[in-house]
């Protein structure tokens, strides 16, 4: 079925999903800030790596789109998870059939619910990874979009499949969000504090152990909220919670070995942002879950340490 999709964002993830959906015949508009809208209009998007696509995209600013009565079957949020609530506020005036967000963190679906109502939110995560080269080309490593309710994810799943993008549907939205968030918090936390790519972390028993401490702490918070971490494609959060520490370290060592053959060091996006002096998604990725831990009375010393240190760095950089 043909879908009308408005993508909030003009960065790499918005470009990949926008280009693939538009190429498959869906009606796609990217919504962004004026300079980015001009950049999108100026030349076609180019994807390389696992995908080889050149596609011109349409883009508008949010106020312009809303003023001219913008409507979409789905709003797909692909901006940085920084001040998301403020980014979404102007979209309350738009006619939206539903909304999904590929942002990282545990707060995003609550923000979407304020815009479209809780029953129209599709919980979404992506295991695809994308980064920009110096020449403005987006390099893509393929990975599935993971979708769940409360809204019916099937039409969006079909649209993604029609664009050649793999999808996995599950029936427990909270588990999906917390499972991805546990790996992201652990990966971002250890990478930023050690300044190491994944290839550097996983073979080191100390750094890999820190990664596992973080996954377990987030799993403890999720459990206190009645949510169980599970496995999803390329996301073994359930396994990390169930296996012995020794087996987990061995799993991470194997993963580290596989990554050695990757063409470039795998630097998580928060590490790239830290090194480039860009704002960090600290609040959405780590702050949301530390606040939940406090409310639930769960002790998360390592998570709190990472959160305080990265928030402190953010504070220094913003002065
Ligand atoms: N890239 C990946 O492989 C990947 C994979 C999974 C999840 N994610 C998550 O997906 C989200 C988007 O990532 P990305 O890699 O596509 O980022 P990106 O290339 O840096 O693009 C970020 C987008 O967010 C916009 N933005 C940033 N700060 C903003 C603000 N304060 N207000 C309004 N717009 C703002 C930027 O607009 P301007 O250009 O105008 O600054 C740009 O359109 C993040 O939450 C990330 O963690 C990324």
Residues 155 and 217 in one domain: no
N- to C-terminal Cα separation, the chain: 49
What is the 273 CA–ligand 1 centroid distance (Å)?
A: 10
Per-residue pLDDT reduced to its tens digit, 183-210? 999 999 999 999 998 888 999 999 999 9
Residues 162 and 288 in one domain: no
- Ligand 1: which residues within 6 Å by Cβ? 9-14, 32-33, 36, 78-83, 87, 102-104, 126, 129-130, 269, 281
Average pLDDT over residues 261-284: 86
Helix (H, G, I), strand (E, B) or coil at 37: helix
Per-residue pLDDT reduced to its tens digit, 116-136? 999 999 999 999 989 888 777
Using pLDDT thresholds of 50, 70 and 90, give the confidence band for residue 263: low
Residues 182 and 269 in one domain: yes
More confident residue, 139 or 22: 22
Average pLDDT score, the chain: 94
Residues 37 and 124 in one domain: yes
- Total domain count for the chain? 2
Question: Which residue, judged by its Cα, is nearest atom 40 of ligand 1?
Answer: 33
What is the 79 CA–ligand 1 centroid distance (Å)?
A: 4
Tokens in use for 38?
């001009």
What is the CATH classification number for the domain harbouring 74? Answer: 3.40.50.720
Using pLDDT thresholds of 50, 70 and 90, give the confidence band for residue 267: confident
What is the CATH classification number for the domain harbouring 249? Answer: 1.10.1040.10
Q: Where are the alpha helices (DSSP H) in 135-265?
A: 154-162, 173-194, 198-201, 205-224, 237-242, 245-260
Which residue among 77, 269, 276, 282 has the greatest number of ligand 1 atoms within 8 angstroms of its CB, and so is best to mutate?
269
CB atoms within 10 A of CB 71: 12
Helix (H, G, I), strand (E, B) or coil at 35: helix
Give pTM, 2 decimals: 0.96
Average pLDDT over residues 158-174: 97
What is the 242 CA–ligand 1 centroid distance (Å)?
A: 33
Alpha carbon distances (Å) from 60 to 38, 73, 138, 165, 266: 9, 17, 20, 25, 32
Residues 227 and 263 in one domain: yes
Give the domain range for residue 22. 4-171
More confident residue, 101 or 138: 101
- How far is the C-alpha of 21 from the C-alpha of 5, rounded, in Å? 9
Which residue among 12, 13, 147, 234 has the greatest number of ligand 1 atoms within 8 angstroms of its CB, and so is best to mutate?
13
């Amino acid at each position: 079925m043909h879908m009308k999709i408005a993508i909030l964002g003009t960065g790499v993830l918005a470009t990949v999903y926008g280009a693939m959906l538009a190429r498959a015949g869906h009606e796609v508009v990217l919504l962004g800030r004026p300079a980015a809208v001009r950049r999108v209009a100026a030349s076609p998007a180019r994807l390389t790596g696992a995908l080889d696509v050149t596609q011109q995209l349409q883009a508008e600013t949010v106020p312009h789109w809303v003023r001219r009565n913008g409507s979409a079957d789905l709003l797909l949020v692909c901006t940085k998870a920084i001040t998301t609530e403020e980014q979404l506020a102007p979209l309350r005036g738009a006619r939206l059939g539903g909304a999904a967000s590929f942002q990282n963190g545990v707060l995003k679906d609550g923000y979407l619910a304020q815009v479209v109502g809780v029953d129209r939110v599709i919980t979404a995560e992506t295991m695809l990874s994308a980064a920009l080269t110096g020449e403005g080309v987006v390099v893509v490593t393929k990975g599935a979009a993971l979708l769940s309710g409360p809204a019916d994810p099937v039409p969006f799943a079909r649209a993604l499949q029609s664009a050649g993008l793999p999808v996995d549907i599950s029936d427990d939205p909270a588990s999906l969000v917390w499972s991805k968030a546990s790996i992201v918090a652990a990966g971002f936390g250890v990478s930023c504090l050690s300044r190491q790519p994944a290839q550097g972390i996983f073979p080191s028993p100390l750094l890999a152990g820190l990664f596992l401490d973080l996954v377990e702490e987030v799993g403890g918070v999720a459990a206190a909220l009645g949510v169980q971490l599970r496995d999803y494609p390329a996301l073994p959060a359930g396994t990390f919670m169930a296996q012995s520490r020794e087996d987990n370290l061995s799993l991470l060592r194997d993963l580290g070995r596989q990554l050695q053959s990757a063409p470039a060091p795998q630097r998580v996006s928060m590490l790239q942002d830290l090194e480039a002096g860009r704002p960090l998604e600290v609040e959405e990725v780590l702050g949301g879950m530390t606040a939940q831990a406090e409310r639930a009375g769960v002790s998360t010393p390592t998570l709190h340490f990472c959160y305080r240190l990265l928030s402190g760095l953010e504070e220094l950089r913003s002065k």
